[in-house]
Structures are given as C-alpha cells and as structure tokens.
C-alpha cells in the first residue's frame, strides 16, 4: 500500500532530497500542488504551515511535526482525529550550546575583555565561575535533562521542576510546579524550557519573578507565553544586576517597538536556540515511517489532552 | 617539630586566613619580614616571586607552587635541591569555562545577534554547531582531559597529543608529538595546554600552523612560548576565516604596541583562563602538608628533568 506524503516546511527541496536518500518503501512524496492537501495521508509539517490547512485534510492519518512545539495545533475546534508526533531528543545539545554560550560569556565577562582588548589594556577582572551556582530548570523532558547534564559538567547544582514532582537522575532534586514559588528564590539561574499548555501560561508572572535573587539570570528558551514579558521588563529596570536571556516571545517576531530590544540587561535572539535541522528531523521521520507501515507505536507521540 | 612557612603570593593576607582555618599541626606562618626568607623550610609561592629569592633560601625543603606553570624555576643555575610541588586538577573546569565560552560564542554568533538586537532586527543567521567538529588538544594531563570531556559533552570528536602517544580514555585517540604535523591538518579546533619545556618551545611554528584548515580555530591556554606569535599573526592576516584565542604570550603583559591586539580575528585576554583560586590552592597545600609531616610522598611533585 502506498502512502502519499505532503511536505509543509520552509525547506521542502532540502527535505525532498533527504527523504529520497532514505528510500522509504511505499512512500510517494507529493509535489507542492495544492490538490494533494486533501489526498495526503501523511504530513511532514511545521505547525504554523499545517494549522490553516487542517480543515482541508480528510485523508490525514499521521502528522510528523518538524518542530518540538506543537501548541498551535492544540487550538480549540481544530481536528484531533489524527496521530501527531513531534521531534524530541535532538534539541537538548543545541539548547545547551545556546544557553551555555550566553552563561559562560556573561560569567567570564567576555564583552568586557573584548572592550579592554580594543584599548590594548592588559587587566584581569574579578574572577567568577559557574561552579557551585544553582540552576533551576522548569521542564524535565529531554531538553531539560540535557541542560541539567551540561550544568552538572560545569559543577553546578541543578534543580528541576515538572508537573508531578517526579524525580530524574539528571537533577539533584525535582519539585512539582506547585513548589515553584518556594524554590525560585534559591536559584542563581532560572531556565524555562516549558511547553505551552494551560498549566504553563504566564507561570512566570510578576509575583513569582519578584522572588528571584537580585542578581539572578532568567533564560526563556521554551515558549514565550510562559513568561509575563511586561512584568519582566519592569523588573529588569529596577534590578540592573539581573540578566534576561530571551529566545522566545509571546508574539514573534518581537515587535520592533518593544522596549525589551533596548533593555541593557536583556539579551534578545530570534528563536534560534535550537533550530530544527532537516537531516535530524528526517532521521526521526524515517524511523517513525518504518514503524507506521508495520503498525507499531510511533516515537514522540503528542497527547492532545496534555498538549505536548 | 615546627615548620616555618614563607608566603610569597599577591594575596598573602587571604592565604594567611585560609591557612589558619586549616589548623595545620606544627605549622608556623612567617610574617612578611625578609629575615624569614633564609629560615623558612616550606614556601607557598608564586614562581615569579620565589625565583629571585631562591639563592637566599638555605633552609628551603619543600616549595608548593600556587601556579601550575613552574617553568621559571627550571632556569639554569637555579637551585633544585628541594622538593617542588605545583597545583593540578583545579584548572580543568575553569579552562573549560574559558575555552567553551569563546568557542560557543563564536560558533553560535553571539556578537552578530547582539548587533542585530541593537538594530531591533529579528533575523536568524545560518546555523552552525560544535557537534561533530574535531578538536585537537595538545597536552593530555588533567587540564587536557577535562577539556576533552567538555568537548565530548558537546558532541565533538577529540584527539590528544602527548610526548609518548600514550592513550587516555577521555580522548577518541592520542598521538605522540612526532605525529603532530600529520594530525594538525585534520582538526577544526586546535587547543594547546602544553607546559613550557624544551620539547614544546615554538612547537607551533610557521610550518605547522600553515597546515591548519583555512577556517580553523587556534586556542593557546598553556604557555606563550609554545606558539610563534609572529608567524601566527602573519597567517591570521592572510586567512581571515581563522580565529585565534590567546590567553598566554611569549612576553606578558603583551606589549601594548603588539599588532595582535588589533588583529580582527584574534581574541586577546590577560592570562585569565584559569586563575589560581586561594581556597583551592590551600586545600592542595594542606593535604600535602599533612603528607609532608608524615613523610609520605606529596601530590603533584614536579620532575626537574621533565620540567613539569
């Protein structure tokens, strides 16, 4: 039995080549002609491109998201009678690069040394290190676990927060979301890699943010809507020793007039901490496709009730 | 039997307090009065401060260096009839912070994203990662091993080079110094943490440097005299895709007129990759002192023949 695959990505040509190399049995890749939207039973798709086409997809059986974040597909009244899988396990290493690039640059004062170099100035600055500092990671899935292992490699103490408080060996200890207000005050670095769900929406509000240490670092790499940006901005103005590292926002792109762009203790990047790399996505898709045609359970299945 | 300790550091007051907390039996800490130079049998000393006083030290039995690098004490005609120990095992984590701060910042293009932020520009740059890149580490002691583990954590392939080609499990493979010209051409990132010895002097000369890939990164964190700075500077001018990360120099401080300061693809820092932190040095000294009074072998003994 043949399966018809619809590609909905910004790199369709790249995906087409990578998929051809996989030689997946019985898989026909549809051209970009719109007539195939209603006929394809498998979609390999970016959620934002898939969402408007969902009402036109009677044949859709399985969608492999090319992104980790699938919250757009959880919107009310969108169909949910298909199998949805996302990509996991490939973003941890990239997010660790992004996060520790910023943390190490900050703690080891690279920008100040750069300025000194411009002036030809040979002068050691006061020494600081990540060793012994306390990182609190919101989200203990594959990304949170990888960040925890990197933090431990750099000698940090690492606490995780998840829905149930379930323990994971990558963390020194884990707490449930209901304990967040208690543990947030103890960390030096707060990192959110939470998905967007009703539980996480504006979780980091003015009240909780106010509990952070006066020189805490806050990094949001998960979803923009878990953080109250306006409250954070106000707080950053009054606590200049704090630093925010923000890769995700409530509205993306971040509006050009948003004051966070010009906030001296905020670092803004355009949602690039862990780009979906096509060859890694294709490897996950190919593995899942072979399971799909053998009617085995797929990897990284999304639970529409939980929303991730 | 009492032992008289001479402190020769830039932080004597700090060391005095930390030593007092250790309550080391029979240890008397001399004041900074010069009369004690000839009487102290134990020195806790920075090599540069100890060197000129060595001819005045008939009582010296054991010197604990506060630095890893003790090459100044290997100079010809300096006395060597004492036990010399240095500090090891504490610098790996700090050097990893320094090295990976620079590597991650470079590969993830933090400065360009910073410039884009200043302009309010939301634009993803081409993605690159340390994953899969090949790091060649010259020196496979405790520092080299720690850097290798960090590189592996970030998904890199790691080759080590040492005198004998002895294998170490922290590296994918190790080669001897005589193989250097062959393996240097294969690496993306070359890191030297070599000590200063006759074997390593100007090891990275014009000929070997010319074998590097056209976009290689060269980091020198060991000793300045293992690298021909003039040859490197000339090469950086003709290969703008290469990057040098330099924390140590043949003459320190680097002269203000040196053109490396203004070389766009060189990063200059003032020998700060792994400062000696007094409480870690005191822990090593205290451990060694307890062995010393029990006439047990000391940790981190320097071999005057090898020079490290």
Q: What is the pLDDT of residue B307?
A: 86
Mean pLDDT of chain A: 95
> Minimal Cα–Cα distance from B156 to chain A, Å?
11
A134-A137-A141-A142 Cα dihedral, nearest 10 degrees: -60
Share above pLDDT 70 across residues of chain B, in percent, rounded to a whole number = 100
Asked whether the beta carbons of B192 and B160 are under 8 A apart, the reply is no
- The tens digit of pLDDT for each residue in A111-156 reads 999 999 999 999 999 999 999 999 999 999 999 999 999 999 999 9
What pTM was estimated for this model as a whole? 0.87
Residues of B in contact with A104 (CB under 8 A): 97, 100-101, 104-105
Secondary structure (3-state) at B97: helix
pLDDT, tens only, B21-46: 999 999 999 988 888 999 999 999 99
Residue A288 pLDDT exceeds 90: yes
Contact B153 A155 (CB under 8 A): no
Helical ranges in chain B per DSSP H: 12-22, 47-50, 91-107, 110-118, 142-153, 180-183, 206-209, 229-238, 278-293
Could you give the C-alpha distances from B255 to A30, A208, A260, B250, B270, in angstroms and in order? 64, 50, 40, 10, 11
Q: How many CB atoms lie within 10 A of CB B306?
A: 12
Quick one: pLDDT at residue B15? 96
Lookup result for tokens 């890694």: A280
Q: Grade residue A89 by pLDDT with cuts at 50, 70 and 90.
A: confident
Asked if the model's pLDDT at residue B172 lies above 80, the reply is yes
* Nearest residue on chain A to B123, alpha-carbon basis: A270
**A79 min Cα distance to partner chain B (Å):** 32
Residue B81, number of CB atoms within 10 A of its CB: 7
Q: What is the mean pLDDT of residues A236-241?
A: 98
The predicted-structure confidence for A16-63, as pLDDT tens digits, reads as follows 999 999 999 999 999 888 889 999 999 999 999 999 999 999 999 999
pLDDT at A198 exceeding the cut of 80: yes
User: Could you give all domains of chain B from N- to C-terminal order, each with its CATH number?
Assistant: 3-89+276-293 (3.40.50.720), 91-268 (3.40.50.720)
- Residue B199 has a pLDDT of 87
For residue B56, give the 3-state DSSP assignment: helix
Q: Are A268 and A246 in contact (CB under 8 A)?
A: yes
Question: Per-residue pLDDT for B1 more than 80?
Answer: no
Q: Which residues contact B54 (CB under 8 A, 6 or more apart)?
A: B60, B73, B78, B79
- Sequence-ordered list of residues with C-beta below 8 angstroms from that of A234, at least 6 positions apart, any chain: A206
Say which residue, A146 or B195, is predicted with more confidence.
A146
* Residue B79: predicted pLDDT: 94
Name the one residue in this structure whose structure tokens are 């293009």.
B109
| pLDDT at position A203 over 90 | yes
* Mean pLDDT of the B163-186 span: 97
Closest CA to B248 of B154, B141, B138, B158: B138
H-only helix segments in chain A: 12-22, 47-50, 91-107, 110-118, 142-153, 180-183, 206-209, 229-238, 278-293
**ipTM of this predicted structure:** 0.86
- B275 chain-A contacts, CB cut-off 8 A: 124, 127
């Amino acid at each position: 039995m043949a399966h018809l695959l619809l590609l909905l990505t910004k790199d369709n040509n790249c995906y087409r080549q990578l998929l051809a190399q996989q030689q997946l049995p019985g898989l026909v890749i549809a051209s970009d002609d719109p007539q195939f939207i209603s006929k394809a039973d498998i979609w390999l798709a970016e959620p934002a491109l898939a969402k408007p086409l969902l009402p036109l997809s009677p044949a859709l059986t399985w969608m492999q998201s090319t992104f980790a974040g699938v919250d757009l597909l959880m919107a009310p009244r969108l169909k949910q009678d298909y199998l949805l899988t996302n990509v996991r396990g490939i973003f941890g290493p990239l997010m660790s690069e992004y996060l520790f690039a910023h943390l190490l640059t900050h703690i080891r004062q690279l920008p100040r040394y750069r300025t000194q170099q411009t002036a030809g100035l040979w002068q050691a600055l006061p020494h600081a290190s990540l060793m012994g500092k306390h990182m609190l990671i919101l989200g203990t899935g594959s990304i949170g676990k990888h960040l925890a292992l990197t933090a431990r490699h750099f000698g940090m103490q690492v606490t995780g927060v998840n829905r149930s408080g379930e323990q994971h060996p990558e963390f020194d200890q884990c707490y449930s979301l209901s304990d967040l207000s208690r543990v947030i005050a103890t960390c030096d670095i707060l990192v959110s890699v939470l998905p967007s769900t009703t539980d996480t929406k504006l979780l980091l509000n003015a009240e909780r943010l106010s509990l952070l240490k006066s020189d805490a670092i806050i990094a949001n790499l998960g979803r923009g809507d878990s953080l109250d940006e306006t409250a954070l901005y106000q707080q950053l103005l009054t606590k200049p020793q704090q630093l925010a590292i923000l890769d995700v926002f409530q509205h993306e792109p971040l509006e050009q007039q948003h004051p966070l762009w010009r906030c001296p203790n905020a670092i803004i990047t355009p949602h690039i901490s862990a780009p979906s790399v096509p060859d890694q996505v294709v490897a996950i898709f190919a593995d899942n496709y072979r399971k799909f045609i053998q009617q085995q359970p797929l990897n990284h299945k999304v639970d529409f009730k939980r929303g991730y």
